[in-house]
Structure 1
Amino acid sequence: MSGRIWWAESSIVQGNGNPADMVKSQFLANMSHEIRTPIIGILGSLDLLEQSDLNHQQAANISVIRECGEQLLQLIDNILDVSKIESDLVAPNLEPCNLGELIMATVDRVDALLKRKGLESKLNIDSRIPAMIMLDRTKLQQVMLNLLYNSIKYTPEGRVELKAKIHPGNSSRLLFSISDTGIGIPSGFLEKVFEPFTQADNSNSRQYGGAGLGLFICKKLLEIMEGKISLNSMPGVGTTVSFSIPLIEVDETEIEAPHELDREQLGNRDDSLLDFIPIRVLLVEDNPLNQKIVGQMLYNYGFEVIMAPNGLEALKILQDKPVNIVLMDMQMPVMDGYEATQFIRQHSKWRDIPIIAITAHSLPGDREKCLACGCTSYIAKPFKAHELVQLMKEYIKRDLKESVSSQRLIAELLPEFLILLDEMIDDLEAAINSRNIDKIQAISHDIKGTAGMYGFMDFSKLAAAIEQASRIKDLTKVKQIFSELYQEVEKVKIQVS
């Protein structure tokens, strides 16, 4: 078995453009799906376990399992990325993007890992960078994540810092740097770190694992984006990786969707409790374990969930029950997700129901294939609960009628939420008055997550905005947004009373 796996790893970096590359790509796609399916079960189960009462040893064991699962997933993704890059299957995809929001979302994804290792994180974003620029957001985020994971991995103590600014030597480019106070790299290895399957320590007794693909992938992705990357390091002091990409400004008047919080709109809303209206979700998934985990995730957020093991059963359910949104696994027996989605779209009654494809396939073209058959959107397994729910919120209409179980759900969850929120609001106000940036970040982050868990997405967004403002030490903006959050909370209290 190890010989076959090594053949796959060593062959994918050849990229000779012959039909054999397509066979290898298909092999990797199939293997990815088979491996990702149990991984979502593992990581999803951990999400649920972490919400239960655990003693210290149990929490420590779960942390180890999660770290190992995420490392395995990263290894799978890296091997697939190398295959796609070397087979010329990756092309640039520029779109309007708010760089600050993208960086914040990226840092949030490594926040838990930073906290587990006790590392300090610093963020510095140049205020001169235009609000909206043209970026390949997916590739840029992947580069930043790979570099952040590397820094965290090789930094036993100290800090990790991310900077983004207009290039001092060329105003038409952006310059990023990710620095750490880690173990550093010997000078003799600096020229080799961007080669595939290369690490500074390749000995059998090396302390840190990995396939040595991260920096190679970063270099290749940056080349696709017309970018450049360099690395400076000193053993025992730390490492700084710098990279630049073109700065392409976009006319904000041409952007239809708002990328900043609309404060006036939020302030005038009287329907804060609408987020608590249970929404009926049809989960179409053949794997019983995935049914249980994803179903529990959704139930924790207040959704009403109906299960179907295949596309044919999903069609039968749609005939009998109204459904607000469908989560569709694409690879299933009897009738797969592609065929089921096409049937749904052909029926006038169901034509406008949002359908989100949930699939372990993640090669180029998989997303397009899902959208082409009629899916509204796409999310790759494994995913975290908040990622799925946030995507669902984009397509759920707010004029939904209240279901029979909504009052029971509100009665059970609302008092607990309001008690917790009152305590956190008081703590946040105290932190703001004492100008304690670290506490402001931590408490607003907690409010963002708790409000999201209870379904109050307006509160969650405002708390996220406070967290973002605190990261750049803009206390004036922090106070302004806190005032808006406080008013929104008071509105809900009045409605409830």
Structure 2
Amino acid sequence: MYSQTLSTLFSRFRVHQLRLLFTGAGVLTLFLLLGFVLGTISALSQLLTDERNVFGNDLIRVITNINSISSSVRLRATNAEYLWKHAAQGDEADLATLQRAGLVRFDGLGQNTGLMLRLPSVRPDDGATIQHVIELVHGVQREGERRLDILTDSARVLWDPRIYFVTLSGSTVAIRPAPNLDAPAIAAAFKDRARLVRYFSAGLDDVVLWASERREGKRSIRWLPPDTGWLSGRDTFRASALAFDGSTPFGVVVGEYRTSLLTEGLAGRSLTGFYTIVDARGEPIISTSSERPTVSTIAWALTILHTAPRNIAEAFERGAFTLASPLGDTGFTIIYTLPWRVMFHVVAGDMATSAAVAAIAVAILWIFVLFFHRKIMVPLFERSERVFDSENLSRTLIETAQVGLALIDASDHSTLLENAHMQALRAKLDERGKGLIGGALSQDAPTAFHQRREEKAETVDVELHLPTTDDGAIDVVAKLTPAHFQRRPVMVAAFSDVTAERQLARQLTVAKQAADSANAAKSVFFATISHEIRTPLNAILGHLELIERLPQSAPIAARLRTVTSSSRALLDILNDTLDFSKAEAGAMRFESSSFDVRAMIRDTVAMLMPLAQHKKLTLTETVDASIALRYIGDSTRLRQIVVNLVGNAIKFTDSGAVAISVQTSQSSAQGLDIVVTDTGIGIPTERQAKIFEAFGQADETIARRFGGTGLGLALCKRLVEAMGGTIAVTSEPDRGSIFTVTLPLATSADEMEVSTEPEVTDEELRGIHVLVAEDHEVNRELIRDQLHTLGYTCDLAEDGLVALRYFNERHYDIVLTDLGMPKLDGYALATCLRNQGANTPIIAITADVTATDTMRFQEVGISAILSKPMSLALIDAVVRRCLKKTMGPSAATGGAAHVSPVARPAHLKGMLAQQTEKSLRSAHDALERHDWDTFSAQIHSIKGAFKMLQLDEVAAVCRQIETQLAHDPISESEALTHALVHLGERVETALAQFDTATRL
């Protein structure tokens, strides 16, 4: 019984659903068809609206042309009145010719020719009137020449038509421009005198009424009926105006225009319909199409516009949509005709599209209805049965899931359902742990429901550390998701035991801490090994340098040079390896202190000068005078970059020159550009990016030919980028390389005071007495020999206490101290000396300097630093600077205060010429577009290049241009152009001198 009732219920439900489905589909079909009809009507309505707008715009164009014609004729009449009033008597010869031959021609340029006719008349003009007309023609010719000069081509169409003047008697006519009397049609027209009289006397019959309008303050225009112009042979219409002498009319000025002028701008466009202009009689004047409106349409237009004056009239007349409007006071009417067939042709596309869309929509609708009936309604009851199976399956999945799942009432947090895994999890927990779960649900369940209402993430993650019954604890992650079950809010909670994962994470943390400790230990190892290796290397290199100064036999000298070279190579490898390891580990630290760039460059050049002299290379430095005295940054790392670049330049250059220049940055508002140029082996373009990679070199033979590890440039790149700068290279094989380092260094407000003390001679320096504190015996002996070689005397102390006692017993000009000594180290010694008021310069000797060390040097009063290994040139340069001596080291010690003449190898000329030509071209382009920053940068680049090669004439011209640019570059543009040309000439001269210098 129950199954039968259920079957009947399902049957009724099916019938009800089918009625709803198919009835709704029928209603939607009717709406779609209605939409198609309304869309078609809307398309037609929009078309008519568009046509009305187009007609209104075109009407304005036609009336504008008519107004322009009226203005042209009025202007001609006004001009004729002026010339008539101020004209003298005409030429007697022209008068005689006119009276004898009946015509006279007035020659002029182009269209500025004239012709006078004498026609038969009841009241012929007297001689004085004719002479006025003759002079009028001459005046019009003069005015015509002037007006043709100032009118545009488009204006001449309206302002320079064929114009004629006729006296009131009609017996005298002046025409401009003159017709071609040799043309057969013109010659025949001249023979028909009666036709001439009728043509030129048109409109003279109502002169009295016409004159009365002028007396009322108006100059009205008379529009003569269209006719075939006998002078042009084209369909024309005429506009005329009466000319007055005071208040008395003396003639009529008539302009003859082609009828196509009325529809100019209309016929060339793509029109839906067509335009027709008719006269007052209803005769068509011109049409934009071969079609014509019907006679009844023209009659309707003239009647409705005459009986009910209006701007625009419209009607649906005889299968066409018609618009009509009068054309001002011309008596003409413009009619626009749009046939119905054209209208439907225009909207046919839209109608077809709408019909197709409607048909497709109806088809889709019914396909969907049938599909819905077959695929949804029929299987609906089958799906109802499967719902129960699905619920049972869901329960099974919940029970077998490997996480604790529970369905919790959101209102009272009671558990509605839970699986076995959740029950097992609860069994592990003690009462306190169970309470923590309840507390978490109470706290986080409202948050989950709030996020759901806000349409954000619906799942809330909760992490819990729960005590267990065995006095342990487990880590649990709970995911709370809001849902509804049996019409009430519930929380689906998934609990996962993540104790093992958390233990693994803690082990990873411990491992990371151990790795950090190992990294710190490695840093300590690097610092220690650096000091321990540099100390014996310092002794080796120092003694080798001293031995080199002694007389040696040729074989021993060669072996000595080999040992020295190998020792320096070992030092370079050590330095690069240690620094690169620091950079790789992120342990590189940079200080920020004020330093003197000039002194740093000078000391570096002094240190490397022996290497350059050994290879017979010229090593020069150029520091732009415009740079600041001091900058803020890490001078030690900057020195390291410069030493690497200049050292590489010397190593890879066999002949020629190496130059380093420093100038203000051209690419940023502040900072420095350090440029190292050499004439060495060069680098192929495809290998230039490779050299900045670790262990990367220009080719595989570099290590064998020149040695090295390939770490130097990679380290330079890392240092430069860590300081916020860039490094780039420009090079050509066998011609040399240019390395450019750009660093954003800020200037320091702590400017150095320029010393005004007189220079000290080498003889005076030989009296300098030095106190040396060094615990290593070999190093003490080496430093003593180095100081004696430089001409200084010294006392040696094995630790800081002995040095402090010596200092208090004797006089010393300078103190050299190692930092790591027993009993009293170098820091403590410097502190003691400063505390007792000593102002003697203190120089620290160390193998490695960190940013922390630099700050400590400043705190204890250390004046300067000597990095191991120490060359004689470096010792002498630092000692001289600390003693504030302005004279640089001598040539023997690699001084850089005096710039030696630059060697100019011939192959360097090509690079210089090519780069200079490019800079001049860029400067010229920048000058034309007033790009002053680019212009200044190119001039500065040329100045730096030629100044480095000691071609001072070019540099002087560049300085003059920079001076002009500093004032008002816009007003100085012409002067800057001349100066740029002069600079090019100077460059050519300098390049010729370049050849001369090369030969020398």
SS in 1 for 2:866: strand
Aligned to 1:384, which of 871, 893, 907? 871
In the alignment, is the contact (CA less than 8 A) between 1:85 and 1:220 conserved in 2?
yes
- CA distance, structure 1, for counterparts of residue 515 and residue 752 of structure 2: 40
SS in 1 for 2:645: helix
Shift of 1:276: 4.3
- CA distance, structure 1, for counterparts of residue 951 and residue 619 of structure 2: 17
In the alignment, is the contact (CA less than 8 A) between 1:283 and 1:327 conserved in 2?
yes
In the alignment, is the contact (CA less than 8 A) between 1:359 and 1:379 conserved in 2?
yes
Match of 1:448 in 2: 890
Match of 1:467 in 2: 899
Aligned to 2:692, which of 188, 194, 209? 194
Structure 2 counterpart of 1:362, one-letter code: V
Q: 1:449 to 1:272 in 2, by over 3 A?
A: closer
Shift of 1:177: 3.4
Aligned to 2:589, which of 66, 81, 90? 90
- CA distance, structure 1, for counterparts of residue 591 and residue 808 of structure 2: 42
1:385-404 counterparts in 2 under 5 A? 385-393=872-880
Match of 1:277 in 2: 767
Match of 1:156 in 2: 654
Shift of 1:35: 0.8
Match of 2:802 in 1: 313
1:145 is the counterpart of 2:630: no
In the alignment, is the contact (CA less than 8 A) between 1:358 and 1:379 conserved in 2?
yes
In the alignment, is the contact (CA less than 8 A) between 2:841 and 2:882 conserved in 1?
yes
Match of 1:291 in 2: 780
Specify every segment of 5 or more residues in structure 2 that has no aligned partner in the other structure, as ranges. Answer: 1-513, 903-947, 954-1000
Match of 2:429 in 1: none
Q: 1:377 to 1:142 in 2, by over 3 A?
A: closer
- CA distance, structure 1, for counterparts of residue 883 and residue 677 of structure 2: 41
Q: How many aligned positions are there?
A: 392
Structure 1 counterpart of 2:890, one-letter code: K
1:70 is the counterpart of 2:568: yes
TM-score of the pair, normalised by structure 2: 0.35
Shift of 1:239: 3.3
Shift of 1:41: 0.9
Match of 2:536 in 1: 38
In the alignment, is the contact (CA less than 8 A) between 1:133 and 1:247 conserved in 2?
no
Q: 1:257 to 1:319 in 2, by over 3 A?
A: closer
- CA distance, structure 2, for counterparts of residue 465 and residue 203 of structure 1: 37
Match of 1:480 in 2: none
In the alignment, is the contact (CA less than 8 A) between 1:104 and 1:468 conserved in 2?
no
In the alignment, is the contact (CA less than 8 A) between 1:29 and 1:362 conserved in 2?
no
- CA distance, structure 1, for counterparts of residue 899 and residue 687 of structure 2: 39
Q: 1:62 to 1:364 in 2, by over 3 A?
A: farther
- CA distance, structure 1, for counterparts of residue 879 and residue 859 of structure 2: 19
1:318-357 counterparts in 2 under 5 A? 318=807, 320-341=809-830, 348=836, 352=839, 354-357=841-844
- CA distance, structure 1, for counterparts of residue 620 and residue 815 of structure 2: 40
Specify every segment of 5 or more residues in structure 1 that has no aligned partner in the other structure, as ranges. Answer: 1-15, 399-443, 453-459, 477-497
Match of 1:428 in 2: none
- CA distance, structure 1, for counterparts of residue 659 and residue 768 of structure 2: 41
Match of 2:578 in 1: 80
Q: Deviations over 1:430-482 (max 9, x none)?
A: xxxxxxxxxxxxxx99x8246x8xxxxxxx9xx96443798774999xxxxxx
Aligned to 1:132, which of 629, 638, 648? 629
Aligned to 1:266, which of 752, 758, 771? 758
Q: Quick check: 464-473 or 105-114, which moved more?
A: 464-473
- CA distance, structure 1, for counterparts of residue 562 and residue 646 of structure 2: 19
SS in 1 for 2:758: helix
Match of 2:216 in 1: none
- CA distance, structure 1, for counterparts of residue 763 and residue 664 of structure 2: 43
- CA distance, structure 2, for counterparts of residue 158 and residue 303 of structure 1: 35
Higher relative contact order (CA 8 A, sep 6+): 1
Shift of 1:257: 2.3
Q: Which has the higher strand share?
A: 2
Shift of 1:214: 1.2
Match of 2:344 in 1: none
Structure 1 counterpart of 2:844, one-letter code: A
Shift of 1:146: 1.2
Structure 2 counterpart of 1:298, one-letter code: L
Match of 2:753 in 1: 257
Q: Deviations over 1:186-213 (max 9, x none)?
A: 4554333222233344579843322221
1:219 is the counterpart of 2:717: yes
- CA distance, structure 1, for counterparts of residue 747 and residue 861 of structure 2: 33
TM-score of the pair, normalised by structure 1: 0.65
Aligned to 1:114, which of 595, 612, 630? 612
1:182 is the counterpart of 2:674: no
SS in 1 for 2:817: strand
Q: Deviations over 1:339-359 (max 9, x none)?
A: 55555566x4x7555443222
In the alignment, is the contact (CA less than 8 A) between 2:691 and 2:698 conserved in 1?
yes
Q: Deviations over 1:403-454 (max 9, x none)?
A: xxxxxxxxxxxxxxxxxxxxxxxxxxxxxxxxxxxxxxxxx99x8246x8xx
Shift of 1:255: 1.8
Shift of 1:27: 0.5
- CA distance, structure 1, for counterparts of residue 794 and residue 706 of structure 2: 42
In the alignment, is the contact (CA less than 8 A) between 2:603 and 2:878 conserved in 1?
no
- CA distance, structure 1, for counterparts of residue 727 and residue 896 of structure 2: 31
Identity %: 30
- CA distance, structure 1, for counterparts of residue 748 and residue 862 of structure 2: 29
Match of 1:403 in 2: none
